[in-house]
């Protein structure tokens, strides 16, 4: 049974969105065409100096790709969001995001003056805008999660973009474990060799999540490391929330 | 077997303008002028040297592991790797390396990540991020927001084609070194890792030697 979304937003190609999504919600991203990529930054809304730390996330879960059962950890050993559903099996956590110069070099220089709002946006400018809008700045830039993209590494450490990885209607669902500031940029993966700028809209649906059952929840019980990161998260909430 | 790129340096120790040993668990923060070369020597082998770089003229522009890896199309750092800031500006270039591979995916240990990775009772243990934060506080003008994912010199963190992340035995040995040339005025922040829970340093953090040459 499809649950009614409490909030929906469609990111146009090149589009961006940022905002705080409170804990206990599902955040579902759906690719409305093949070959989507959403570069994403996550910060703890209570104190954005605490942010998604991909090295800590990957080391703790012994992985270089993200999928269902895994969680996005902060640099304070807490879980910002869990991955509770995933139709793809691989989202790229190696962190790259596009810049103006990269985008110009690959797809040809475009300008607002010439193309108005059809000019080709880049992730760094999108991030910069949204960071500043939340009182942050470029010093807060860190490696991004690239949802819908797969980059695999060979024995020499060369990075290979898996073209065709993301079909139309692919989706991934996060569950917020803390109040989280999300910054989404619907901009191409820097390693995507496609010669034309991917024009894939991505829909964001936010829905209420069921309460987490620590005994059975797949993300809590994925590994001992995940359980301890949830312990840290629950301890934070117990200390932080108002009594009574 | 993976090919490692090992390149010797032509610089002589007696010509260095700076020469110091950083014991295990200590930190180091210093500016390099453009063209200066910093050598880090792994004195006893398989030590992790957690390192961050900042544009000294724009400290808000920190080292970017993601930009560096994407620009070179590979995850390991060695001779020829240009370490970039978030802005894309080159900070340092690795010009010699007798180890052959360095990690920039694994980040730095912290009290909090130690609770996650090992056990809650590990929280009291000394760790790299505490060293980073203490040195940033002493220097002034920096905050936790400036602590981005770092380089782990001499660490080997292979990624499998299936997307697994492993902490392999070290590829460094006593006396291995890596050298980097400053491409701009760059601030270098080092934590000589005190991690006692990870077999990759044989549970025995050891000192490193730092040398600097003028151009």
Give B 1-30 residues with CB within 8 A of chain A.
2-3
A193 at interface of B, judged by CB pairs closer than 8 A: no
> Residue B58 forms beta bridges with which residues?
B55
d(CA B27, nearest CA chain A) in Å: 20
Range of the domain at A70: 7-240
Query: From the CB of residue B31, how many other CB atoms can be counted at a distance below 10 Å?
Result: 13
Residues in B closer than 8 angstroms to A155, CB to CB, are: 2, 161
Q: Is the pLDDT of residue B2 over 80?
A: no
Mean pLDDT across the stretch B99-108?
Answer: 96
CB pairs under 8 A between A and B: 143
With H, G, I as helix, E, B as strand and everything else as coil, classify residue A18: strand
User: E strands, chain B, where?
Assistant: 18-22, 27-32, 37-42, 49-55, 58-62, 82-84, 90-97, 151-153, 176-182, 186-192, 208-213
pLDDT for position A11? 98
β-pairing verdict for B176-182 and B37-42: antiparallel
Looking at the structure of chain A, the number of domains it has is 1
Cβ atoms A5, A208 nearer than 8 A: no
Give B 46-75 residues with CB within 8 A of chain A.
60-62, 64-67, 69-70, 73-75
Q: Taking the complete model, does pTM exceed 0.90, yes or no? A: yes
Give one word for B125, left, alpha or beta, with left for phi > 0 and alpha for psi -120 to 50. Answer: beta
A62 at interface of B, judged by CB pairs closer than 8 A: yes
**pLDDT one-digit tens code per residue, B40-51:** 999 999 999 999
The reply to whether A1 falls in a domain is no
The confidence band for B201, taking pLDDT boundaries of 50, 70 and 90, is: confident
The reply to whether A94 falls in a domain is yes
With H, G, I as helix, E, B as strand and everything else as coil, classify residue B5: coil
Can you tell me the distance from the alpha carbon of A25 to that of A20, in angstroms, rounded to the nearest whole number? Answer: 11
Residues in B closer than 8 angstroms to A232, CB to CB, are: 112, 115-116
Tell me, what's the ipTM?
Answer: 0.96
Cβ atoms B105, B151 nearer than 8 A: no
Cβ atoms A59, B165 nearer than 8 A: yes
**For A66, which DSSP code?**
B
Among B69, B116, B148, the residue with its CB nearest the CB of A232 is: B116
Residues in B closer than 8 angstroms to A188, CB to CB, are: none
Can you tell me the distance from the alpha carbon of B166 to that of A71, in angstroms, rounded to the nearest whole number? Answer: 18
pLDDT for position A4? 78
List the single residue in A with minimal CA-CA distance to B129: A75
Residues of chain A with pLDDT under 50: 1
Give one word for A135, left, alpha or beta, with left for phi > 0 and alpha for psi -120 to 50. Answer: left
d(CA A240, nearest CA chain B) in Å: 18
Pick from A178, A174, A176: nearest CA to A236: A178
The reply to whether A174 falls in a domain is yes
**pLDDT one-digit tens code per residue, B112-131:** 999 999 999 999 999 999 99
In chain B, pLDDT over 90 holds for what percent of residues?
Answer: 92
């Amino acid at each position: 049974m499809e649950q009614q979304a409490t909030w929906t937003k469609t990111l146009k190609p090149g589009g961006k969105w940022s905002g705080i999504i409170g804990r206990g919600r599902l955040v579902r991203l759906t690719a409305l065409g093949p070959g989507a990529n959403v570069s994403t930054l996550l910060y703890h809304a209570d104190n954005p100096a605490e942010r998604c730390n991909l090295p800590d996330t990957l080391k703790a879960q012994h992985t270089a790709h993200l999928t269902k059962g895994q969680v996005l950890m902060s640099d304070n050993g807490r879980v910002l969001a869990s991955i509770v559903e995933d139709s793809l099996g691989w989202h790229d956590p190696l962190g790259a995001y596009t810049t103006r110069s990269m985008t110009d070099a690959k797809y040809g220089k475009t300008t607002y003056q010439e193309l108005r709002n059809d000019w080709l946006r880049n992730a760094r400018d999108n991030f910069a805008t949204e960071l500043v809008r939340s009182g942050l700045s470029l010093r807060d830039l860190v490696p991004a999660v690239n949802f819908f993209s797969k980059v695999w590494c060979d024995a020499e450490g060369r990075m290979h973009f898996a073209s065709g990885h993301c079909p139309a209607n692919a989706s991934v669902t996060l569950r917020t474990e803390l109040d989280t500031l999300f910054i989404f940029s619907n901009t191409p993966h820097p390693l995507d060799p496609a010669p034309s700028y991917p024009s894939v809209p991505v829909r964001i649906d936010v829905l209420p999540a069921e309460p987490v059952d620590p005994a059975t929840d797949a993300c809590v019980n994925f590994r001992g490391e995940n359980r301890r990161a949830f312990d840290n998260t629950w301890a934070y909430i117990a200390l932080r929330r108002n009594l009574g | 077997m993976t090919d490692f790129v090992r390149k010797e340096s032509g610089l002589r120790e007696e010509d260095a303008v700076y020469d110091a040993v950083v014991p295990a668990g200590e930190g180091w923060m210093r500016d390099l002028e453009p063209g200066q070369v910093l050598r880090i020597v792994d004195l006893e082998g398989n030590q992790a040297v957690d390192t961050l770089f900042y544009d000294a003229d724009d400290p808000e522009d920190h080292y970017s592991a993601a930009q560096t890896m994407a620009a070179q199309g590979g995850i390991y750092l060695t001779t020829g790797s240009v370490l970039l800031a978030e802005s894309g500006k080159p900070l340092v270039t690795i010009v010699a390396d007798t180890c052959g591979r360095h990690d920039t995916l694994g980040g730095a240990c912290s009290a909090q990540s130690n609770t996650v990775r090992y056990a809650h009772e590990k929280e009291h243990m000394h760790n790299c991020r505490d060293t980073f934060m203490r040195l940033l506080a002493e220097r002034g003008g920096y905050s936790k927001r400036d602590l981005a994912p770092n380089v782990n010199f001499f660490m080997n963190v292979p990624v499998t084609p299936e997307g697994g992340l492993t902490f392999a035995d070290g590829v460094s040995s006593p006396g291995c070194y890596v050298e980097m040339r400053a491409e701009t005025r760059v601030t270098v922040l080092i934590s000589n890792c005190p991690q006692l829970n990870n077999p990759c340093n044989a549970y025995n953090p050891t000192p490193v030697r730092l040398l600097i040459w003028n151009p």
